A and B are shown apart, each in its own frame.
Chain A
Amino acid sequence: MIFVSVGSMLPFERLVQAMDAWAGAHPDTKVVIQYGNGAYKPQHAQGFAMIPAAEYRRLVADAQLFVAHAGMGSIITAIQAGKPLLMLPRLQTLGEHNTDHQLATVKNVGNRPGLYSAADEVELVATIDRLLAAGAAIPAPISPHASPELIANIRGFIHGKKVA
């Protein structure tokens, strides 16, 4: 099963349509898409506008590959679940987000093992076929919490201490 998510805030028709077409061409592979506020409803894949958090995490855990926009919710969920993630960044020029920060995310966060990205829909589909054939790396496990440094500093703020 391949789980696809556009995140929870904005539509991302390019990703939904590319993955729905992929599902149509690969009827033996189950594809589940959380398509959010998008107008396009998947025709071949199983589509849900919004999946509750617990079910969403179960789908990521059960998927052989997670495909999503380059949002931090998707990235952190993939790393915590130890699942390979293939990202298609949203582009400001196509009206897919307010800024091009997802390109920066791919560049600055996407270099971790188990995280893959595609520049466009053609590369996305080619990368899926390659990852399914050759096997994808798995993200290294991480702590369920932020860095001890950040936790300690925020704890200090809460209790009114000055941070050096």
Chain B
Amino acid sequence: MPAQKPVRLLAIASGGGHWVQLLRLRPAWEGCAVSYASVHASSADDVPGCPYYDFTDASRRSLWRFPVVALQMLWLLLRVRPQVIVTTGAMPPLIALVLGRLFGARTLWVDSIANSERLSGSGDIARRFAHQVITQWPDLAQGNDPAYWGSVL
């Protein structure tokens, strides 16, 4: 078989549980050229040997940060040039996903396992922009949108 160039993949998540869940998905992109992004500089220690970028956290409580976050995401995407984006949330990675799709990336939103009774607000928005949205709770699946593909636990 001819050698293929590895897929350029951006794995991105906010801090806390979002980042911990993303790390549990790592075998899925074995063999890809993966770059990681999250909110704490110290999280680089979790992914030794891989490019790591940090960005400003933002939520519904800090909407004023969004222009800054959007510029950071634009800059991140220009550097990584991902062909695929996988995120476990939340708000700032949603911006990366929307912008990334404009640049032609295939985009996957993995809704946090914390959303066990309804999809997150960001996940609902992601349904309009991502190529695929998945929930980690079978009862929340609605056919393929969102789909249930399994869980991080």
Interface size class of A (residues with CB under 8 A): 35 or more
Interface residues of A in 110-139 (CB under 8 A from B): none
* Cβ contact within 8 Å between B29 and A153: no
* Cβ contact within 8 Å between B149 and A76: no
Q: Counting CB contacts under 8 A, is A94 at the interface?
A: no
* Cβ contact within 8 Å between B151 and A98: no
Q: Counting CB contacts under 8 A, is B3 at the interface?
A: no
Query: Which segment, of A14-22, A24-32, A39-47, A155-163, faces chain B?
Result: A155-163
B21 contact set on A, CB distance < 8 A: 72, 76, 146
Q: Chain A, 63-102, contact with B by CB distance < 8 Å: what is the 0/1 string?
A: 0000000011111110100000000000000000011011
Chain A nearest CB, measured from B35 CB (Å): 14
Chain A nearest CB, measured from B145 CB (Å): 12
Chain A nearest CB, measured from B2 CB (Å): 16
Chain A nearest CB, measured from B117 CB (Å): 4
Q: Given the interface contacts A101-B117, A109-B113, does A150 sit within 8 Å of B149 by beta carbon?
A: yes
* Cβ contact within 8 Å between A151 and B28: yes
Closest to B149 in A: A153
Closest to A53 in B: B42
Q: Counting CB contacts under 8 A, is B142 at the interface?
A: no
